[in-house]
Structure 1
Amino acid sequence: MSAPTVASTRPKPLRIGPYASDTPVVLAPMAGITNAGFRRLCREQGAGFYVCEMITSRGLVENNPLTFRMIAMDPDEQPRSMQIYGVDPATVGAAVRIVAERDLADHVDLNFGCPVPKVTRRGGGAALPYKRRLFEAIVRAAVDNAGRIPVTVKMRIGINDEHHTYLDAGRLAADAGVAAVALHARTAAQRYSGTADWSAIARLRESLPAELPVLGNGDIFCAADAIAMVAATGCDGVVVGRGCLGRPWLFGDLEAAFAGRPLPAPPTLGQVAATMRRHAVLLQEHMGVDKGIRDMRKHIAWYLKGFPVGSELRRRLGLVSSLDELDELLAQLDPHQEFPADADGPRGRQGSPGRVVLPEHWLDDPEDPSVPLGAELEHSGG
């Protein structure tokens, strides 16, 4: 199969504070996915910003051991990007101050996009920008306590089609001094279903100062999608989430596409198998031998999407319990099998749209700055 070429507009480097990347791409933080092992695997493929799993501000402030394991960074990770979730300005400010004082990261992203019920029912994630004064207080607390560290925000269009918040939130974040704004072009009610509305990214780009980077997120599953998003919206870079599940080489494709070079040839099944093994080794180095190989299981189906490898071999790979067993099973794959033409596209959770779970009376007053009772999550994740 010949390597395709993707037309590129050669956008300017993406700059977040003092850090710049010629490839304007950010790996979206994904719970249970973007640990140090996976980030290294992706960084080995191409340039960009690679963000760790979301952690809670409360976990940092209370020195939760799980939180500090989740923010483990490779020695050569640069810049070190961390995403923080919080609903209380005081707690978020204290958490960011800890990051700055202990030199735990070089860049902090604030999560205002998570749509899962355990987050939104506390007023967090994608629910929070509806409360404009509370949102503003949280962002300002983070920026004021970050010192030299640039702070960015990631958000959604709004709670649902009746409650769009992204334009107000973008302006408030810009006024508070953030270094970039990222928009997942879906509402919380959509979750990961349907189609992202890229026109919202264009409207956000038009509404904010030209010098403030605006990043687009949603439905980027191949390099052509990223180029199309930039062309359609004028955004300054893209955020890639589900598109890289089982496809870490996507970052190499993106680097080539944004540089105007031909894309690398799609990997054969043998090359995919080698990437799977590398992923397993990195997970073991990061998480321990047993836990690392168990964590690898959830990635198997994503890697093999579209390849006709047989249900029994898929099943056995999905239950793999050691690196030796993984080697034995990978050896049974046909290494010359070409990458399936229809293997790209949506991966990971999609689900269905649904009602967003919110705190009682949440929609009554968008100007209410009060922190919901029991809003802060007790532990990291989500």
Structure 2
Amino acid sequence: MTPATLSTPTADQAPSEPIAQPLFIGPLKVDPPILQAPMAGFTNYAFRQIVREFGGAGLLATEMVNARGFVWLDENEAEHPDRLWGVADEPRPLAVQIWDNDPPTLAKVGRRLVEEYGVSVVDINFGCPVRQVTQKAHSGSYLLSQPGRMGAIIEQVVAACAPTPVTAKIRLGCTRDQINAIDIAQVVEGSGAAALTVHGRTAADMFRGSADWDRIAEIKPYLKRIPLIGNGDLDSAEKVLDAFRRYPVDGVMIARACLNKPWLFAQAAAAVRGLPVPPDPTLEEERELLLYHFKLVCERFGTKKAAVLMRKYACCYAQGRPGAREFRKHVAVIESVEDFHEIVERYFPRSS
């Protein structure tokens, strides 16, 4: 089963007025203005294909790519990162997110992504709070304390990638005592970026607490020409609709919630267009979707590696359901196609 075969509503009512208009990232029209967040370890080609088949995402994104690692692989004539699996051939629009702290390295990789992969958008990560990226590599959200370096990075990447638009993703600041998103937003725009995405937490927050959308909204008056995209805690079509109604954002980005609901984009897109919201798939349909997802990963990595990679995805699909813990316990040790199919059949939740 593919997402295209899942149940859809009967649109027996006329649509109301759309709540949100398309946004433009440079010359690129994003319609609907609902973006899929880049998430390390998850938003690979197989996941993006599933999201694309459901529909509703105006712009999809890869996992974030380590620019320095990309250069090393290139110089040593190794295969380019697995995180670029499928990028050259899949439908557009598509964004690739890169991270590092060295302007020339990021500019070099950005140019390669434009020239060799033909990406629609190059996004720079200034928001990742993970220690390996911040403290060890002095990248991601670490750079929020160094606006001058951020500006230099953006300027060089913009120049290298032109005319392909370059965007930036940030958090509110490093800590609650160091919220500087307004100042950073002006640096981002002044350095030539074509859009800004803001996650409504600080780096120190990680993913604790709630995203502060009021703080995101405060940034809007300080941006003169580029769109503001809000990110954080959007786990339902109703919350997406509420974000557009309550806050002056031009677009929204859905992150962790889509990992166990890849159909969320289609639901959100219907809501902001004033159309009936499609229902969630049945658990039987979700089970078949999980097997389809596994098949896509197998085609790239072979069955043994795919079995390991699918452990985390399988847990996402079962999240919040009765029996999810028992399912996770068994799926965590799968090693073969037979194991995967048997465990999904026996233990995947059968009730909500």
> Which TM-score band (shorter chain)?
0.7 to 0.9
Structure 2 residue 50 is the aligned partner of structure 1 residue 41: yes
Secondary structure, counterpart of 2:129 in structure 1: coil
Query: Are 2:200 and 2:211, in contact at CA under 8 Å, matched by a contact in 1?
Result: yes
The reply on whether 1:137 has 2:147 as its aligned counterpart is no
Q: Normalising by the residue count of structure 2, what TM-score does the alignment of the two structures yield?
A: 0.88
2:211 paired residue number: 196
Percent identity between matched residues is 33
Choose from 283, 301, 305 the match for 1:291: 305
Aligned to 1:316: 330
* CA drift at 1:224: 1.0
CA distance in 1, matches of 2:167, 2:182: 15
Task: Tell me which amino acid in the other structure corresponds to 1:68.
Answer: P
Which segments of 5 or more consecutive residues in structure 1 lack a partner in the other structure? 341-382
Deviation at 1:109, TM superposition (A): 0.2
Q: Cα gap change, 1:19/1:324 in structure 2, threshold over 3 Å: closer, same or farther?
A: farther
Instruction: Measure how far apart 1:92 and its partner are.
Output: 1.4
| 2:327–2:348 CA contact under 8 A, matched in 1 | no
Structure 2 distance, partners of 1:314, 1:45, is 25
Measure the CA separation in 2 of the matches of 1:187 and 1:310: 31
Residue of 139, 147, 152 corresponding to 1:124: 139
Q: What SS does the aligned partner of 1:109 have? A: strand
SS of aligned partner of 1:63: helix
SS of 1:108's equivalent in the other structure is: strand
- Please tell me whether residue 21 in structure 1 is matched to residue 30 in structure 2: yes
**1:60·1:95 contact (CA, 8 Å) conserved in 2?**
yes
1:96 to 107, 110, 113: 110
1:144 is displaced (CA, Å) by: 0.7
- Give the aligned residue type for 2:120: D
Query: Following TM superposition, by how much is the alpha carbon of 1:156 offset from its aligned partner in structure 2, in angstroms?
Result: 0.3
Cα gap change, 1:267 to 1:100, in 2 (>3 Å): closer
The SS at the match of 1:83 is strand
Answer whether contact 1:36 1:286 (CA < 8 A) is retained. no
Instruction: Report SS of the residue matched to 1:153.
Output: strand
Q: Give 1:64-213 correspondences, 5 Å limit.
A: 64=74, 65=78, 67-74=80-87, 75-121=89-135, 122-209=137-224, 211-213=225-227
Deviation at 1:35, TM superposition (A): 0.8
The answer as to whether partners of 1:55 and 1:67 remain within 8 angstroms in 2 is: no
CA pair 66-155 structure 1, distance change in 2 beyond 3 A: farther
Secondary structure of residue in 1 paired with 2:62 = strand
Query: Deviation string for 1:106-133 (max 9, x for gaps)?
Result: 2100000011112211431112022121
Deviates more, 1:92-101 or 1:217-226: 92-101
Is contact 1:290-1:321 (8 Å) kept? yes
CA gap of 1:330–1:116, structure 2 versus 1, over 3 A, is: closer
C-alpha deviation, 1:230, in angstroms: 1.7
SS at match of 1:224: helix
Superposition RMSD in Å = 2.5
Inter-partner Cα distance in structure 2 for 1:153 and 1:237: 14
Q: Which has the higher helix share?
A: 2
Is residue 214 from structure 1 mapped to residue 197 from structure 2 by the alignment?
A: no
Contact 2:125 2:168 in 1 (8 A): yes
Name the structure 2 match of 1:247.
Answer: 261
Which one of the candidate residues 233, 236, 259 is aligned to 2:273? 259
Alignment-mate amino acid for residue 76 of structure 1: E
Q: Which piece of structure 1 moves more, 93-102 or 225-234?
A: 93-102
- Shift in alpha-carbon separation, 1:134–1:314, aligned structure 2, 3 A: closer
In the alignment, is the contact (CA less than 8 A) between 1:226 and 1:238 conserved in 2?
A: yes
Identify the match of residue 295 of structure 2 among 264, 281, 295.
281
Tell me: CA distance 1:311–1:124, structure 2 relative to 1, closer, same or farther (3 Å).
closer
Of the three residues 17, 26, 40, the one matched with 1:31 is 40
Residue 58 (str. 1) matches residue 72 (str. 2): no
TM-aligned CA deviation for residue 255 of structure 1 = 1.8
Q: What code does the residue aligned with 2:21 have? A: K
Of structures 1 and 2, the one scoring higher in RCO (CA 8 A, sep 6+) is: 1
Q: CA deviation at 1:315?
A: 2.7
1:110–1:314 CA distance, 2 compared to 1 (3 A): closer
SS at match of 1:183: strand
1:89 positional shift: 1.2
